[in-house]
Structure 1
Amino acid sequence: MAKITRAGPASPPDGGWGWMIVAGCFLVTICTRAVTRCISIFFVEFQTYFAQDYSQTAWIHSIADCMTMLCGLGFALCYSPAIAMVGKYFSRRKALAYGIALSGSGIGTFILAPIVQLLIEQFSWRGALLILGGFVLNLCVCGALMRPITLKEDHSSSEKNHDHGTQKEDYSPLTKEWAQTSLCCSLQREYSFLLMSDFVVLAVSVLFMAYGCSPLFVYLVPYALSVGVSHQQAAFLMSILGVIDIIGNITFGWLTDRRFLKNYRYVCYLFAVGLDGLCYLCLPMLQSLPLLVPFSCTFGYFDGAYVTLIPVVTAEIVGTTSLSSALGVVYFLHAVPYLVSPPIAGWLVDTTGSYTAAFLLCGFSMIFSSVLLGFARFVKKVKRTQLRFLAKESDPKLQLWNNGSVAYSVARQLDQKDEGALAMAVSGCNLT
């Protein structure tokens, strides 16, 4: 009896159960990214208890962030799939959906930062970590909300693979060899975006961006304490960073969904990354609470902005079908910078006795990430303009498609047909 399969919707539903997916992803980001950020509040406690310097203590936060992005362990099993699921359920409102979902990182930081400080004061750092561990168990609830969806393009792709496999089984006795070949072809098709120049540029820029963004969440509280800010006020700075992060997530997601900015999401992303880099360069000059509060607001807003746009920009480059794999690669690339940047920053603090060198290096790294993306986009635009110009010079009826390839227009083909018909008519008249 033939197996009957039900085709999925032609396009993402942009609503319905998708909002439950957004809610689940929202809670996932609270339990993963916000909890990891709160390690910054434990930094001074770890440093005092274990009697270690900045670079050694920073490995605690670095390893937690690195393992989240690098392996299929712990937070990674929740974070990346939840983000990919949002992309499956939304298309027209994708930036807004991601803005709401990823705002959990900011809301979680806003709520957890003062709570963690109180827990440390009441139960010591050991008790505080134990309570946070119990809170993270809510990830099980998030997993229960994740309902897979199969779009029409995914269904047609799987049907092609199934038909191809059936033909191979009918005509080839070497089943094992076919299975290996089929697996290789499947992997090649799934990760074909790795050969796209746009994705390669994005991947390189992500390395520099990730290097710059991580140390602030480790060293903001210690830096504030070093300039005379109290423990509660330093935790308050993290709360401000978190709540403004929320505003950046949602407002930037909403703005870039508008018609006048929808085609400029790439530019908005590099703009947000570059401004965070500039904030880093100004940080060493800010040595009081009234000056650190505006910094936390500015950095938090644009941090939320570009975090929202990472999946959106990735989807624009690779498409919806390969989004899950591409996001996996993008977040995987965060791992090494997350691992090495806080210890390197700590080593600079230990060596120089100041935070200046560490913050400047992070700032220039983020600015370079932004400039690299902008330069690549500029070069691509210049090449398109040159190709269009050459096409017009060689033949005014040539058209330049979006992918840069040159194709003859329909008018050209019609002209050729008309010329052929005219020649036949003339030859007919000559014969008569």
Structure 2
Amino acid sequence: MGYLLKSVDSVVKIFEDGGRIGWLGVLGLFSGWIVWIGMIKGLAVMLPTLQEQFNASTWLVGWMIAITEASMEFSALFASPLRDKFGVRVVVTVSGVLIGGSLIASSFASSLYQIAILITLFAGPAVGVTSVVTREMIGRHFRESLTIALGLGGLGSSLAFVTMVPLTQFFLDAYGWRGTMLLLGAIFSHLGVCGALMKEPAVTRSYDEYQTVDVLEEPAVTGEGEADAPNSRCHSCLETVHSFFSKTFNISLLSSTSFWLICLMMNIWMIMYTAWFIYFVPNTISKGFSLKEASTCVVIYGIGRLPASVTIGPLVRNIPAINNSGWLGIGLVTQCIYYLLDPWLITYWPIFWAAFIYGYFSAMLLLLFDVIVIGIFGADQLGSVLGLIGPFAGLSRIFSLYFPGLIYDILGSYTLAFTVMGGVQCLSVVALLLLVWLQRRHPSGF
């Protein structure tokens, strides 16, 4: 009885920690992850169909999906300024409308390029902005239960694999790719309804906050003074622009070594993770399995994510011997091993269980990155850090994620591609070790 009362009291404290606004942020993150994963993985499931429909190469369709996710990362740079200007409610609501509208419009497209333009310019940025502002909202309102709140929000990505992947496959079989785009657009539009529930007041940022340049009455000068006046005005203008960008995007973070190590670590992991997103189904099919069997393994991956989202918070709190960096290192090493072993997984059950394990550690890594950023830079800087990492992540996706498909087009196998992915993933472990060493020399809450 005493244990039960203690458990109930613990649950009550968790709910009180974030308050109404914090839990609305969890709801927003939950819905945003469903849209993000549902869109990217849904396009990946449609990859063979789109390739056949538009007579396109594997690498081209895969690259289109990679560019879509790159646009999600690029938009992170503008998430915090948009939140400060309009508030979370407006940002998330408008994002839901843009996502649904662009996918519905894509169902009427007559070429692959039209689909890429619609999704990249409208749906991708809207998803990326929603992800950042809701994670930032959670970071600002949760203290003791931060990891648990991020884990519950991350359940959306887990459920997306369990529900959206088979649902997309069903839509594809029953209605074709056009009907699938139309129905997914209608489903994802519900993100706008979730945004309408968020009533956190907007924090308007007035331009009066920025340093202004005093314009003095120009004295009557001759000779060299006449030449100095335009230069002075130009210098003052540049200072104003620099001050604006510095305060809007917090570019002072770029001078931090910890930021660059986190940027490198997250970028490497996200590139490999997105490559798995895009090419897992084609890779499994190339081993002799059907599309249905490959999609089932994706569902198992999503099921593997579910316990991670629920258990990582209590694990971090109740096993102090392993800190956040320790859990992060375990996850990164496990995924390195997975990529290196994948070419030798050629029967169903090993692929099945490997997908489950990969899913567990993927969910764990996804939320631990946010926790570590908050631990080093603080909750108020989470949006700025993610925003500055976004452009680097987007560019790296654009210039790298067509390689697995290109290797397959040339060699007819994904063996080399997944082996290279495992080797590159090891670099993220090196970056983590350097970050831990740096934080021990200069502790800052890591």
TM-score (norm 2): 0.74
Q: Does 1:300 align with 2:359?
A: yes
1:317-356 matched pairs, under 5 angstroms = 317-356=376-415
Specify whether residues 75 and 174 from structure 1 end up closer, same or farther in structure 2 by C-alpha distance, changes over 3 A only: farther
Contact kept in structure 2, 1:349 and 1:355, CA below 8 Å: yes
Specify whether residues 122 and 189 from structure 1 end up closer, same or farther in structure 2 by C-alpha distance, changes over 3 A only: closer
Q: Which residue is 2:429 aligned to?
A: 370
Q: Which residue is 1:271 aligned to?
A: 330
SS at match of 1:322: helix
Counterparts of 2:135 and 2:248 in 1: how far apart (Å)? 23
Q: Which residue is 1:260 aligned to?
A: 320
* Identity across the alignment (%): 22
- 1:208-234 deviations in whole A, cap 9, x for unaligned? 222211111111111222222222221
Q: Which residue is 2:286 aligned to?
A: 226
SS at match of 1:366: helix
Contact kept in structure 1, 2:17 and 2:145, CA below 8 Å: no
Specify whether residues 24 and 403 from structure 1 end up closer, same or farther in structure 2 by C-alpha distance, changes over 3 A only: closer
- Structure 1 residue 13, shift from structure 2 partner: 4.6
Counterparts of 1:403 and 1:132 in 2: how far apart (Å)? 43
- Structure 1 residue 182, shift from structure 2 partner: 9.1
Q: Which runs of 5+ in 1 are unaligned?
A: 1-11, 385-401, 405-432
Contact kept in structure 2, 1:69 and 1:76, CA below 8 Å: yes
Counterparts of 1:64 and 1:183 in 2: how far apart (Å)? 31
Q: Which residue is 1:26 aligned to?
A: 30
Specify which of 131, 139, 147 is matched with residue 199 of structure 2: 147
Counterparts of 2:352 and 2:272 in 1: how far apart (Å)? 20
Q: Does 1:64 align with 2:68?
A: yes
Q: Which residue is 2:144 aligned to?
A: 92
Specify which of 286, 303, 312 is matched with residue 243 of structure 1: 303
Counterparts of 2:344 and 2:245 in 1: how far apart (Å)? 55
When the two chains are superposed, the root-mean-square deviation of aligned CA atoms in Å is 3.1
Q: Does 1:202 align with 2:262?
A: yes
Counterparts of 1:213 and 1:83 in 2: how far apart (Å)? 20
Q: Which residue is 1:136 aligned to?
A: 188
Q: Which residue is 1:102 aligned to?
A: 154
Q: Which residue is 2:347 aligned to?
A: 288
- 1:309-330 deviations in whole A, cap 9, x for unaligned? 1111111121122221112123
Q: Which residue is 1:78 aligned to?
A: 130
- Structure 1 residue 173, shift from structure 2 partner: 5.8
Letter in 1 for 2:312: F
- Structure 1 residue 28, shift from structure 2 partner: 1.2
Counterparts of 1:259 and 1:192 in 2: how far apart (Å)? 35
Specify whether residues 237 and 185 from structure 1 end up closer, same or farther in structure 2 by C-alpha distance, changes over 3 A only: closer
- Structure 1 residue 23, shift from structure 2 partner: 1.2
Q: Which residue is 2:39 aligned to?
A: 35
Q: Does 1:111 align with 2:111?
A: no
Specify whether residues 14 and 56 from structure 1 end up closer, same or farther in structure 2 by C-alpha distance, changes over 3 A only: same
Counterparts of 1:270 and 1:197 in 2: how far apart (Å)? 19
SS at match of 2:318: coil
Counterparts of 1:93 and 1:87 in 2: how far apart (Å)? 10
Q: Which residue is 1:361 aligned to?
A: 420
Contact kept in structure 2, 1:228 and 1:288, CA below 8 Å: no
Letter in 2 for 1:271: I
Contact kept in structure 1, 2:29 and 2:134, CA below 8 Å: yes
Q: Does 1:50 align with 2:102?
A: no
Contact kept in structure 1, 2:18 and 2:138, CA below 8 Å: no
Counterparts of 2:371 and 2:35 in 1: how far apart (Å)? 22
Letter in 2 for 1:98: L
- 1:347-402 deviations in whole A, cap 9, x for unaligned? 11112221111101111111211122113423654x57xxxxxxxxxxxxxxxxx4
Q: Which residue is 2:9 aligned to?
A: none
SS at match of 1:146: coil
Counterparts of 1:189 and 1:332 in 2: how far apart (Å)? 12
Q: Which residue is 1:413 aligned to?
A: none
- Structure 1 residue 338, shift from structure 2 partner: 2.6
Letter in 2 for 1:195: S
Specify whether residues 312 and 149 from structure 1 end up closer, same or farther in structure 2 by C-alpha distance, changes over 3 A only: farther
Letter in 2 for 1:75: V
- 1:125-168 deviations in whole A, cap 9, x for unaligned? 11111100111111211222333379xxx99xx99x98x87xx8
Letter in 2 for 1:20: L
Contact kept in structure 2, 1:103 and 1:249, CA below 8 Å: yes
Contact kept in structure 2, 1:35 and 1:108, CA below 8 Å: no
Contact kept in structure 2, 1:85 and 1:148, CA below 8 Å: no
Counterparts of 2:129 and 2:438 in 1: how far apart (Å)? 38
- 1:27-82 deviations in whole A, cap 9, x for unaligned? 11101223212222101111222222221221221111111111363322322212
- 1:163-205 deviations in whole A, cap 9, x for unaligned? x87xx88x95669969928944952893322212111111122
Q: Which runs of 5+ in 2 are unaligned?
A: 1-15, 79-124, 218-232
SS at match of 2:380: coil
